[in-house]
Structure 1
Amino acid sequence: MNKLLKTVTSTLLIACAPAAFAASTVDLTVTGLITPNSCTPLLSGGGQVDYGKISAKDLKTTQSTLIGVRTLQMSVSCDAPILVGLKAIDNRSGSSATLQGMGLGLINGDQKLGYYYLYLRNPIADTVAVQPIVTEDNGRSWMNDAFWNPQYLSSVAAMSDDSQPIPMQNLTVDLEVQTLIARTDGLDLSNEVPIDGSATLEVKYL
């Protein structure tokens, strides 16, 4: 009986061994591509949009208030023609009163003051009119859209084909900034409140 038990035990150990060894390792692959080209983005006016002082009495209590639309010129200059994407990074993430907008900061640490939208208007790439496009799946597909959504990547395409970006060396585009203050019935405006929007505009190489 003992001899039979030992034989069965040994058989079970041998049967389990391959599965135990197979789960002990995993492979890591690191990939990428170093490009000799580089691009430099610039914004007119030092990238500043200033609405000055706004009276709380001029703001709407039950819906957002558009306090202004401003346009800056953005340029991207590259060493050579290259495929690029444009990424807007919200430095006040979590303070926007809407999912697709960029934040304007918080009041008392938890009240969302408002939001602003960015639009890419009238893009010109290497002296030729082009159209703004956006990808929602990291470059697998593209479509025409002037809205610069911080969740996605934007680029430019030929006027005849919005399905893919085109390489460019020099790009100029009107950056439209639409700024809104959230409904005031949920905001403490008993003291002066700074409008505190901040974003980083990044060039990504495709």
Structure 2
Amino acid sequence: ASGRARELSLQAGFAPAACETTLSNGGIIDFGRMWSRSLNTDKETGLVSRSLLLSIGCDGPTHFALRMHDNRKGSATGGIDETAYGLGVDDSRNKIGRYFLYFDPFDLRADALPQVYRTDSTTGGVAWSSSSAYPIPIGSSSLLGFTALPGSNAGPTAIQNLSGQISVRAVLSPMNSLDLRTEVLLDGSGTIEIIYL
């Protein structure tokens, strides 16, 4: 009896370790009720910054970066800035203001690393800035990553767990540019995306 050879072909695709992001208070920042007379009439008003606890947990050590998406695109005041996100519009479609989401490496912890440094890429991860401990607002067209090494251009370190405080800084439009006949509601909304590298 003669046998016939059969070629065996094995194929597999390996996805990166999945990471999950959580924010304290369901990711909601409530500035409460403010009276227009306590805010600036003819210039912008900066609100006291508020903090959220960010936690990122991955199945294993993972090279990742973060990017922000503005769910109120086009409503940010102050010109084009990839780190400014909109607070929505009032009843007359006037822009209410903008906010920034700051990451301060001093407030972050990653695995057993003694210190966390931030590095960013404006080229989609092809090249990375020299890592530093200087705080930075997250952008919508740049990648924000984290490393254990200061002054490194090598990009993010593989991290399994990252956590710490991030701060929200909001700026309101001058009150005389808004329609105050009805209550003005801040309506900022953004999504933090994990980019696997």
In structure 1, what is the equivalent of residue 89 of structure 2? Answer: 106
In structure 2, what is the equivalent of residue 161 of structure 1? Answer: 151
In structure 1, what is the equivalent of residue 5 of structure 2? Answer: none
Matched to 2:121, the amino acid is: T
In structure 1, what is the equivalent of residue 100 of structure 2? Answer: 117
Alignment check: 8 A CA contact 1:131 1:162 kept? no
Q: Secondary structure at the match of 1:45?
A: helix
Aligned residue runs from structure 1 range 82-97, under 5 A: 82-97=62-77
Greater length-normalized contact order (CA 8 Å, ≥ 6 residues apart): 2
Q: Secondary structure at the match of 2:47?
A: strand
Aligned residue runs from structure 1 range 55-204, under 5 A: 55-98=35-78, 99-100=80-81, 101-108=84-91, 110-121=93-104, 122-128=107-113, 129-143=115-129, 144=132, 146-163=136-153, 164-204=155-195
TM-score by length of 1: 0.78
Matched to 1:70, the amino acid is: R
Superposition deviation, residue 184 in structure 1: 2.3
C-alpha separation in 1, matches of 2:14 and 2:176: 52
Q: Which runs of 5+ in 2 are unaligned?
A: 1-12
Matched to 2:17, the amino acid is: N
In structure 1, what is the equivalent of residue 196 of structure 2? Answer: 205
TM-score by length of 2: 0.82
Alignment check: 8 A CA contact 1:92 1:197 kept? yes
Alignment check: 8 A CA contact 2:53 2:164 kept? yes
Matched to 1:161, the amino acid is: G
C-alpha separation in 1, matches of 2:77 and 2:182: 20
Superposition deviation, residue 88 in structure 1: 0.9
Alpha-carbon spacing, 1:109–1:127, altered in 2? closer, same or farther (3 Å): farther
C-alpha separation in 1, matches of 2:137 and 2:149: 17
C-alpha separation in 2, matches of 1:172 and 1:151: 23
Alignment check: 8 A CA contact 2:68 2:191 kept? yes
C-alpha separation in 1, matches of 2:109 and 2:136: 13
Structure with more helix by fraction: 1
Q: Which runs of 5+ in 1 are unaligned?
A: 1-32
In structure 2, what is the equivalent of residue 24 of structure 1? Answer: none
Superposition deviation, residue 63 in structure 1: 2.2
Alignment check: 8 A CA contact 2:61 2:159 kept? yes
Q: Taking every aligned residue pair, what percent have the same amino acid on both sides?
A: 32
Superposition deviation, residue 202 in structure 1: 1.3
Map Cα deviations across residues 43-75 of structure 1 (whole Å, 9 max, x no partner).
Answer: 111111001101111221332111221111101
- Please identify the structure whose Cα radius of gyration is greater: 1
Q: Secondary structure at the match of 1:72?
A: strand
C-alpha separation in 2, matches of 1:141 and 1:74: 26
Alignment check: 8 A CA contact 1:157 1:166 kept? yes
C-alpha separation in 1, matches of 2:173 and 2:20: 34
